[in-house]
Amino acid sequence: MTNNTKDIKQEILTLKTLIKQWNYEYHVLDTPTVTDDIYDSTYKRLVNLETQYPQFLTTDSPTQTVGGKTNSTLPKIIHQTPMLSLANAFNYQDLIKFDQKIKKTLSQNKIQYVCELKIDGLSIAVTYINGKLKTGATRGDGTSGEDITNNILTIHNIPHTLPTNINLEVRGEVYLSKEEFKRINTSQQQQNQPVFANPRNAAAGTIRQLDTTIVNSRNLNAFLYYYVNAANDNIKTHHQALQTLQTYGFNVNDQYQLCSNIDEVWTYVQKFEQLRINLPYEIDGIVIKLNDLSSYDLLGRTNKAPKWAIAYKFPAVTSVTKLLDIFPTVGRTGKITYNAKLEPVLIAGTIVTFATLHNSDYITTRDLRINDLVTVKKAGDIIPEVIAALIEQRTTKSIAFTKATNCPDCHSVLEQVPPEVDQFCINSDCKERILKSLIHFCSRDAMDIMGLNEKILQRFLELKWIKTISDIYKLVNLRQEILSLARFGEKSFTNLATNILNSKQNSLERLLFSLGIRHVGQKTAVVLAKKYLTLENIMQASYADLASTNDIGTIIATSLIDYFANPINIQLINNLQALNLNFYYLGKQHSQLLAGKTFVLTGTLSKSRNEFVTLLDNYGAKITNTISNNTSYLIVGENPGNKLTQAQKLNVKIINEEQLQIILKEVSKNG
């Protein structure tokens, strides 16, 4: 491999790690941290590199998977068919290419499309059995979503009973009107509660509430737009499917339009780009779907999106306001991020008071100054970004930016190593760094310690019960102290202690990721764990050996060497070892015992799809979404879907979860 291709591979890994983190922040936390433009340009860069260097394209790439994940606090529902996202178009030429690909595949010159408003909310799937509402779920990771049935029942325009005894799955978008969003935020302010950034975040946070009385009080709405398996019910077109949903009593957005060609689509797009500000709800684009349902299977789909539909995304929305202040904040790695305090301004239905300024170079290259009038950009519900100063309107009151020299929390001197543009607080005792590192350590993708959220960790820090990561494992000895806190009962403490103790058995890659080593994301942690097998081996690895490892490279190798050269980090690792945390890679013991075997899931199972993927990956097997002659096993849960019938027709071996465990034990014994 040449140095150039090594660099490309490393860039692809970096881009994938970034996008996965942004997806998690957007879909799970409902707190996006980058602008739409930054996300889209980064995503495009990844697509271009993977196209140019297909040898580096992997199935776990965010270009191949749906962006969301499920919230661990809610039960899961496995979707009968994958709930995919949509490919994006950003201009007229993108729509032309979409049209040409469809015409080429179908060998047709005349194609009809249906245009619909892209509602800025949260995607849902609702199933009906014999005309009665059975379940409601979020999209989640596309294969399984959170069970939000009780909350769906509170939405007045989702019918509980249909006028016909039909089995039906319908998908749509839960949203808040602009008016209701303002009312909720006013109420939040009056109660000294944090306000929501925008209607989408408010809707997403509400639909995931465990308290249905809160959901009911917020007047959620829903538009339904996709009749799953409509063709099986003798419906020929998507236009007809929308009309049928309306006859069943579903709230279908009435702005949809049947278009005879892509030019009519473009006219529709331009029309609503102008009208969007006057709508009573937020939209962030237009969805364009092929009208003929019989062509959907022929066109097919990628792992992430159907090829018969596309989403046109509106350009970023900008406004002008005053830059009141520039201030830095510190993250878990010590990285300093600069932020803007703004004179409140309404952008696309959202009151914006803060925006990101990234780093000091970003500010100086744009000559941003306090008291300047600035242009602020915002697309959809992404955190706003200051993009330029109106220098021609600058007054004598403007104050030039001064780069911070000290950490905003602990006041230690910041460090910057050229050619990096970012500054870092290197004080390991910095309270803000400690808090954010604790939050990361306990997060779902790291050690997954449920019950230790940001508020609780902050409280324990204030009480001096936690000073470092290793102190988390000493909390199990503070039963009486914790029980003395408000809202902490015996059951809460028992669950917390159990989760803390269980995390000790996590495989090495989780521990590596949770330590917060710079540039070591989830994928890199797995690569390191699989190669070196133990934490001790990684700590003793040479720079040359690390740098020559596939998917590692010089940047990560340097970061690892630096991390393990720090006596404070060594002390932390020694403390964790004394507390009996697992330092071994657990997946290796089963590797390749089921190599070449392919599994498919159907129905409601005891674990999430991701947990089954991880389990079977440890044995060298893989999980796919579709049944074929190459499928080795279909794992069946409660209420299986059409995959069961397909498996029976193809004589695929059908097993349940208990039988899967028997198979795994058998291959382990004979392996």
Whether 273 and 329 share a structural domain: no
Closest CA to 158 of 221, 226, 207, 116: 221
Calculate the dihedral angle through the C-alpha atoms of 638, 642, 648, 650, rounding to the nearest 10 degrees: -140
Distance separating alpha carbons of residues 241 and 116, to the nearest angstrom: 13
577 domain-assigned: yes
The pair of three-digit structure tokens given for residue 623, joined into one six-digit string: 């999980």
Structure-token match 């403007």, residue found: 398
Instruction: Tell which wins on pLDDT, 61 or 610.
Output: 61
Highest-confidence range of 84-93, 167-176, 526-535, 553-562, by mean pLDDT? 167-176
Closest CA to 266 of 312, 309, 307, 310: 312
pLDDT-based confidence at residue 66 (cuts at 50, 70, 90)? low
Q: Does the pLDDT at position 71 exceed 80?
A: no
Whether 151 and 258 share a structural domain: yes
pLDDT-based confidence at residue 381 (cuts at 50, 70, 90)? very low
pLDDT at residue 460 in the model? 93
Whether 598 and 467 share a structural domain: no
Q: Does the pLDDT at position 190 exceed 80?
A: no
420 domain-assigned: no
Counted domains in the chain: 6
**Residues with Cβ within 8 Å of residue 42, at least 6 apart in sequence:** 15, 18, 19, 22, 34
Q: Does the pLDDT at position 578 exceed 90?
A: yes
Average pLDDT over residues 110-119: 95
Active site residues: 118
Closest CA to 435 of 332, 519, 296: 332
Whether 309 and 321 share a structural domain: no
Domain end (from 355, 380, 415): 415
Q: What angle do CA 582, 585, 591 make, to 5 degrees?
A: 145
Q: Does the pLDDT at position 382 exceed 70?
A: no
pLDDT at residue 56 in the model? 85
pLDDT at residue 380 in the model? 45
Closest CA to 197 of 220, 176, 226, 222: 176
Query: What pLDDT, in 10s, does the model give residues 220-268?
Result: 999 999 999 898 889 999 999 999 999 999 999 999 999 999 999 999 9
Q: Which domain holds residue 441?
A: 428-503
Distance separating alpha carbons of residues 621 and 668, to the nearest angstrom: 13
**Residues with Cβ within 8 Å of residue 101, at least 6 apart in sequence:** 307
* Residue 90 neighbours by CB distance under 10 Å: 15
Q: Does the pLDDT at position 73 exceed 80?
A: no
Q: Does the pLDDT at position 15 exceed 70?
A: yes
Considering only 273-287, 586-600, 635-649, which range has the smallest mean pLDDT? 586-600
pLDDT at residue 486 in the model? 81
Whether 326 and 398 share a structural domain: yes
Tally the C-alpha atoms within 13 A of residue 170's C-alpha that lie toward its C-beta: 32
Highest-confidence range of 96-110, 345-359, 366-380, 406-420, by mean pLDDT? 96-110
Distance separating alpha carbons of residues 418 and 129, to the nearest angstrom: 62
495 domain-assigned: yes
Average pLDDT over residues 157-177: 93
Domain end (from 279, 313, 347): 313
Considering only 55-59, 489-493, 553-557, which range has the smallest mean pLDDT? 55-59
Q: Does the pLDDT at position 37 exceed 80?
A: no
Q: Does the pLDDT at position 276 exceed 80?
A: yes
The pair of three-digit structure tokens given for residue 23, joined into one six-digit string: 């997806």
68 domain-assigned: no
Average pLDDT over residues 5-12: 82
CATH for 262: 3.30.470.30
Q: Does the pLDDT at position 70 exceed 60?
A: no
pTM, 2 dp: 0.47
Instruction: Tell which wins on pLDDT, 207 or 296.
Output: 296
Distance separating alpha carbons of residues 78 and 108, to the nearest angstrom: 36
Average pLDDT over residues 382-402: 87
Whether 496 and 645 share a structural domain: no
Query: What pLDDT, in 10s, does the model give residues 620-637?
Result: 788 887 788 889 999 998
CATH for 11: 1.10.287.610
562 domain-assigned: yes
Distance separating alpha carbons of residues 597 and 593, to the nearest angstrom: 9
pLDDT-based confidence at residue 36 (cuts at 50, 70, 90)? low
To the nearest whole number, what is the mean pLDDT of the chain?
86
Query: What pLDDT, in 10s, does the model give residues 439-497?
Result: 999 988 899 998 898 889 999 999 999 989 999 999 999 999 999 988 788 888 999 99
Whether 573 and 454 share a structural domain: no
pLDDT at residue 168 in the model? 92
What single string gives the DSSP state of each residue in 19-56?
A: HHHHHHHHHTSS---S-HHHHHHHHHHHHHHHHH-GGG
CATH for 445: 1.10.150.20
The pair of three-digit structure tokens given for residue 72, joined into one six-digit string: 């661990």
Whether 182 and 286 share a structural domain: yes
Considering only 76-80, 91-95, 594-598, which range has the smallest mean pLDDT? 594-598
Considering only 244-248, 317-321, 368-372, which range has the smallest mean pLDDT? 317-321
